[in-house]
């Protein structure tokens, strides 16, 4: 490694914990620079006095364009510091992926990237130059579909490549956002997708609905956090409506997680039928849907993360007594979810849960996948919908 030493910068408590862990790995930590509060207070300018020739600075604070600009102003190049939060296993670590997070009154949150016309969408466009119609495609899903801030090349980009290879002019609006469940997809379709004049809608989902949602099945994780935070700020009369301090999460469903998920994608299909839009839904694969597992799949960290241990004799994951009861319930729920999903026979639906059987090094965790796997995924989805698209061009 070219760099000979490490400087750690951040809040005191986290900085010294990281120092101990790095030194336990035999890495040389030359200096720790800390600020006492939870926010940057100008202490970061102390890095201007450090010779960074053979050092790299690990910054533990949340990413800040102001702080990055301050470092660059004092002559510290970007290759001499690492924002640790931007080196997460899933989120990207480069400036090109920086985007703004905005609150959304219907969906909880969306992302906005410079150069994009619409909040919550990443656009891919290509013209074959022959004057044929550009098919307008809306993609819906969670973080496994999102193109915002992700480290791996998203499958939507490879999907665009598939269309190019077939000479199909297209505009793709990728509306995938992390944590979105099928309900957020449905709302986004009704509120935004129709007005994008979509010719086709593709939903790729399942994993985010595979859990017990205590507050309500239509609420994503971030919506729950957002509204609970808002209620802490308002305890007085709001514009004559009366005092507020609670949140109404809607009517609870009385069906299984999978049945609820399927009800939402059926509603997406109904909306598309009503508006004359083609629709296709795909049940996504996950680590625990593979029939045969590789050595990487059996990594105990991953197994513990999803609440399974591996039975080598049977070559399958099973729920372990070493995890808490709530996690065991979640594991069983996932198994039940996929068993139910396999029984869906509608022509507009496709179960992709087994596409990575007999393949190694697919997953970065229990659901997100590496670049090459996203490419294969895009090809599988394209194979399913390409005939419909060709008929759309001919019409």
State residue 300's pLDDT score. Answer: 35
State residue 322's pLDDT score. Answer: 43
Backbone angles phi, psi at 141, to 5 degrees: 165, -170
Beta-ladder partners of 173: 123, 138
State residue 309's pLDDT score. Answer: 53
State residue 160's pLDDT score. Answer: 98
The answer to whether the beta carbons of residues 366 and 306 sit under 8 Å apart is yes
The answer to whether the beta carbons of residues 291 and 357 sit under 8 Å apart is yes
Q: From its phi and psi, is residue 179 left (phi > 0), alpha (psi between -120 and 50) or beta?
A: left
Taking only the tens place, the pLDDT of each residue in 238-259 is 555 556 667 888 888 888 888 8
Put simply, whether the predicted model's pTM sits higher than 0.85 gets the answer no
Which of the residues in the chain have pLDDT under 70? 1-3, 13, 37-39, 85-97, 211-214, 232-245, 291-334
The answer to whether the beta carbons of residues 35 and 10 sit under 8 Å apart is yes
Backbone angles phi, psi at 322, to 5 degrees: -80, -10
State residue 204's pLDDT score. Answer: 97
Q: What are the strands, taking DSSP E only, across 73-145?
A: 81-83, 100-104, 108-112, 122-126, 135-141
The domains of the chain, with CATH numbers, are 5-87 (3.40.1400.10), 100-394 (3.40.50.1110)
DSSP string, 311-353: ETTTTEEEE-TTS-HHHHHHHHHHHHHHHHHTT---TTEEE-T
State residue 150's pLDDT score. Answer: 82
The answer to whether the beta carbons of residues 209 and 172 sit under 8 Å apart is no
């Amino acid at each position: 490694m070219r760099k000979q030493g490490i400087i750690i910068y951040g809040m005191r408590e986290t900085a010294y914990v990281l120092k101990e862990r790095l030194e336990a790995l035999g890495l040389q930590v030359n200096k720790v620079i800390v600020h006492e509060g939870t926010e940057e207070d100008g202490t970061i300018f102390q890095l201007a006095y450090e010779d960074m020739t053979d050092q790299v600075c690990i910054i533990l604070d949340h990413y800040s364009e102001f702080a990055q600009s301050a470092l660059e102003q004092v002559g510290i190049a970007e290759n001499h510091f690492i924002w640790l939060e931007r080196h997460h296993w899933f989120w990207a670590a480069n400036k090109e992926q920086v985007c703004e997070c905005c609150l959304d009154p219907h969906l909880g949150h969306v992302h906005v990237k410079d150069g994009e016309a619409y909040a919550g969408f990443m656009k891919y466009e290509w013209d074959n130059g022959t004057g044929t119609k550009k098919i307008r495609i809306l993609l819906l899903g969670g973080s496994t579909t999102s193109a915002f801030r992700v480290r791996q090349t998203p499958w939507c980009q490879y999907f665009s490549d598939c269309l190019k290879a077939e000479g199909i002019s297209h505009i793709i609006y990728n509306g995938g956002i992390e944590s979105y469940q099928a309900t957020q997809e449905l709302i986004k379709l009704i509120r935004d997708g129709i007005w994008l004049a979509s010719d086709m809608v593709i939903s790729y989902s399942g994993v985010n609905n595979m859990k017990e949602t205590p507050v309500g099945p239509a609420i994503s994780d971030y919506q729950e956090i957002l509204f609970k935070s808002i209620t802490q700020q308002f305890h007085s009369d709001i514009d004559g409506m009366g005092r507020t301090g609670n949140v109404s999460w809607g009517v609870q469903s009385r069906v299984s997680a999978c049945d609820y998920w399927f009800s939402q994608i059926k509603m997406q299909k109904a909306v598309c039928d009503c508006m004359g839009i083609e629709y296709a839904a795909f049940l996504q694969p996950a680590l625990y849907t593979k029939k045969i597992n590789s050595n990487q799949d059996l990594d105990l960290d991953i197994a513990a993360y999803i609440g399974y241990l591996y039975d080598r004799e049977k070559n399958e994951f099973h729920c372990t007594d070493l995890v808490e009861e709530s996690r065991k319930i979640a594991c069983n729920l996932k198994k039940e979810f996929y068993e139910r999903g396999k029984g869906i026979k509608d022509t507009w639906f496709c179960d992709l849960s087994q596409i990575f059987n007999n393949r190694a090094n697919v997953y970065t965790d229990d659901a997100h996948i590496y670049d090459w796997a996203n490419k294969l995924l895009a090809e599988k989805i394209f194979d399913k919908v390409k005939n419909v698209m060709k008929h759309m061009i001919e019409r």
